[in-house]
Structure 1
Amino acid sequence: MARSFADDNAIPNGWRTRYPGSAIWIIIAIFRGFLEASFYSIYYIPSSLRQSPTWTYRQACMTRLLERVFHIITEIGFTQSLSLEPDKVGDRWVTIDPASASAYSSDFASETVKPEMVGGTWYPNLPSKQSLLEEQGLVVLSFHSGSLLWLTGRPEDSGPTATLLNNSLGNNTRSLWLQYRLGGGSNPTPYPGAMQDAVTAYIYLIKNMGISPSRIVLAGDSTGSTIAVALLRYLASIREVKNHELAELPPPKACLLFSPSVEYCFEGDPEAVSTNRNIKSDYVEARMMAWGARAIAPPETVRLDDPYISPALHPFATPVPIFVQAGGAEVLADSVRGFSNAMSSVPGNKVEYLEVPDVPHDVYVVGTILGWSKEQKDIHEAAARFVLQ
């Protein structure tokens, strides 16, 4: 039976998560990793022993390596703290003040989590309002992955993906990758913090940059898709809210979801994840997914089956066309397909589903790293065709 509330014990704890234990364990993990790498470099030579017999030697080894990296991160409980300083991003970096309190009405209002200043990175560069008006190109508002524990949308973790998506969508496409607040680090911010940040960024694009919503494409991969779908639902819910500054505006042009996290009742249940049919062919692990579910949905704050956390269980009507992609060998394949089917069943919804056979989680981002560069390019091009049709 799927979980209704996240498990507090999912947060890594113990001597390995605190210095000097974490440093000692990293040294042990490096030595252990060397032994494992040596073993699998031989073990995977026969294709029949790989995670899938259709995978290349590189794909098998690199997927295993990424799985071990995430395993170590979970063991030491590493999370990322955010900065609003531009650092190496330079003038592509922007900080965005919250909108008026009324913009976060109803579902995203909270007594404990309030909207705050957020940052974001523009790709390929920060445009002027005049250039945006003259170019009339698409603008992507993108939400990165990372289980609400890591990543920032800055070039070091999102630059290649941002460039590939921009190029796929054509000339004059710009994108803003939001550095939304995380559920870990020095300032852990659970639901609805990241969703509030999505509203902040969306209003910034419309009000500050003068971009019509009909030119905005929402995009998210993995956990970022949770935020993108939540923004879609929110925009649908406030259509009837009197005097809401977004109520009378046209909807976004499209929403692109890649390996989306759309059913946290499943992701927050380590037993269900560990027995999933694709657990041996994916690089995610049960403990990491349960930790991510706890980060976004503390049990005292929100249920895992909340409509904004598990939209696969709560389909809704939206005028925004939705592109959904999953990997046939990823743990989330069944929940993503279920979400797509549920949303397609709502009258008036337009949903296109693409399942790439025999690939693991989030090839949209890590395809080149793991050895699925062609599949990664195909995914971007399929998403672009959906938007431009």
Structure 2
Amino acid sequence: MSTVPSVTPISWQSRIVHLLVRARMRPHAHAPIDPSWVRTEMGRPRAARRWMARSTGAAMESRPAGEGWPGGEVVSWPGHEPGAPVLLYLHGGGYIACSPETHRPLVSSLVRRLRGRAFVPRYRLAPEHPFPAALHDAMAAYRYLLDIEHIAPTQIVIAGDSAGGGLALALALAIRDEQWPHPAGLVAFCPWTDLAATGGSLEENTERCAMFAGETIRRAARFYVGDADPTLPLISPLYGDYRGLPPMLVHASEDEVLRDDAIRVAEAARRDGVEVELQLWPHVPHVWQFFAAVLPEARASLAATTRFVLARM
């Protein structure tokens, strides 16, 4: 496993972003979770998100459900080449919130760097739709790329952040189990890989994390897991068998409560013979890649991701 040392020194922009995110998120870290409230709050500030997405120059197209596609968005770089990289990007949000629209800044930043396209499905959310609804929608989206868009699997990289990062890894396990063609690679930003909530960083970083406490993660997991076993690999890919999977890139914050979810899944994949690039970043919030417009650490993470994806093509 390739583990790149933490980036130092910490930028002044990171210190400011960390404080702002903490001021907004930490007051709610120990409170009961209301999914409807989270959906409203995590969609803000809408004007800033629209500005960050538009500033990348990428084009966004809403694509309704049909032909197996569960609905969502396609983000494209104008004039992209036919053989350019294609991301199947699975948004985060704890399986209970967020959407292709909330993740436009992050996805469009990646698309601009890759000069390619990203398909961002609107998978069903818990608690109305617990496991396996999100996984089934992600599987349908992958088949849509293969069967309807006729994109070669060697051109596809599956990516995601937080819950979407865990879902991306679960999708890769399902693709292997179904004996479908493998994608070229996997990218996971701050992935949530253990819904049984056994990572030591849930306690170690519960006061350092800018967004969550360990209890936040435990409470959120119940919405998606429902009555299922949280250690099922297609729920918690930490417990999966990674033999035969494509190369992986994993980025996480040293300070977040999900740090050990990233480290342990990278170690598990390496033990199973998968090529893994793991990098931990100091003093950045969970899924700091959102802030590429202002944060050097976000731009560095996306640049490393771009190199990883292009090397797989």
The equivalent residue for 1:358 is: 283
Residues 202-244 of structure 1 show CA distances to partners (whole Å, capped at 9, x for unaligned) of 11111111111111110000000121111100111122xxxxx
The equivalent residue for 1:94 is: 63
**Pairing of 1:38-117 with structure 2 (within 5 A):** 56=12, 58-68=16-26, 70-71=28-29, 74=32, 76-77=34-35, 78-80=37-39, 92-97=61-66, 99=68
Aligned Cα root-mean-square deviation (Å): 2.9
1:337 aligns with 2:263: yes
Residues 36-86 of structure 1 show CA distances to partners (whole Å, capped at 9, x for unaligned) of xxxxxxxxxxxxxxxxx96755234303223246449856552549xxxxx
1:315 is displaced (CA, Å) by 3.5
The equivalent residue for 2:166 is: 226
Match of 2:104 among 159, 166, 183: 159
Higher Rg of the two aligned structures: 1
1:280 aligns with 2:208: yes
Local SS of the residue matching 2:196: helix
1:384 aligns with 2:306: yes
**Paired residues of 2:106 and 2:292 also in contact (CA < 8 A):** no
The equivalent residue for 1:182 is: 125
Local SS of the residue matching 2:300: helix
The equivalent residue for 1:216 is: 156
The equivalent residue for 1:147 is: 94
Local SS of the residue matching 1:275: helix
The equivalent residue for 1:30 is: none
**Paired residues of 1:326 and 1:355 also in contact (CA < 8 A):** yes
Q: 1:380 & 1:146 partners in 2: Cα distance?
A: 20
Q: 1:324 & 1:361 partners in 2: Cα distance?
A: 13
1:375 is displaced (CA, Å) by 0.5
Local SS of the residue matching 2:73: strand
TM superposition score normalised by structure 1: 0.66
**Paired residues of 2:209 and 2:285 also in contact (CA < 8 A):** yes
Residues 68-118 of structure 1 show CA distances to partners (whole Å, capped at 9, x for unaligned) of 46449856552549xxxxxx9x9811123465xxxxxxxxxxxxxxxxx72
The equivalent residue for 1:304 is: 230
Residues 7-49 of structure 1 show CA distances to partners (whole Å, capped at 9, x for unaligned) of xxxxxxxxxxxxxxxxxxxxxxxxxxxxxxxxxxxxxxxxxxx
**Paired residues of 1:95 and 1:120 also in contact (CA < 8 A):** yes
Residues 346-368 of structure 1 show CA distances to partners (whole Å, capped at 9, x for unaligned) of 13x11111111232311122465
**Relative to structure 2, which stretch is displaced further, 335-344 or 272-281?**
272-281
Local SS of the residue matching 2:261: helix
Q: 2:88 & 2:233 partners in 1: Cα distance?
A: 22
Match of 2:70 among 118, 123, 133: 118
The structure, 1 or 2, with the larger RCO (C-alpha pairs under 8 Å, 6+ apart) is 2
Residues 242-265 of structure 1 show CA distances to partners (whole Å, capped at 9, x for unaligned) of xxxx3xx3x211110000001111
Local SS of the residue matching 2:100: coil
**Relative to structure 2, which stretch is displaced further, 216-225 or 204-213?**
204-213
The equivalent residue for 2:113 is: 168
**Paired residues of 1:279 and 1:330 also in contact (CA < 8 A):** no
The equivalent residue for 1:136 is: 83
Q: 1:236 & 1:152 partners in 2: Cα distance?
A: 26
Local SS of the residue matching 1:176: strand
**Paired residues of 1:139 and 1:174 also in contact (CA < 8 A):** yes
Instruction: List alignment gaps of at least 5 residues for structure 1.
Output: 1-52, 82-87, 100-116, 240-245
The equivalent residue for 1:12 is: none
Letter matched to residue 285 of structure 2? P
Change in Cα spacing, 1:166 to 1:69, as seen in structure 2 (3 Å) is farther
Change in Cα spacing, 1:355 to 1:68, as seen in structure 2 (3 Å) is closer
**Paired residues of 2:170 and 2:234 also in contact (CA < 8 A):** yes
Change in Cα spacing, 1:236 to 1:374, as seen in structure 2 (3 Å) is same
The equivalent residue for 1:242 is: none
1:162 is displaced (CA, Å) by 1.2
Letter matched to residue 221 of structure 2? A
Letter matched to residue 210 of structure 1? H
Q: 2:18 & 2:169 partners in 1: Cα distance?
A: 32
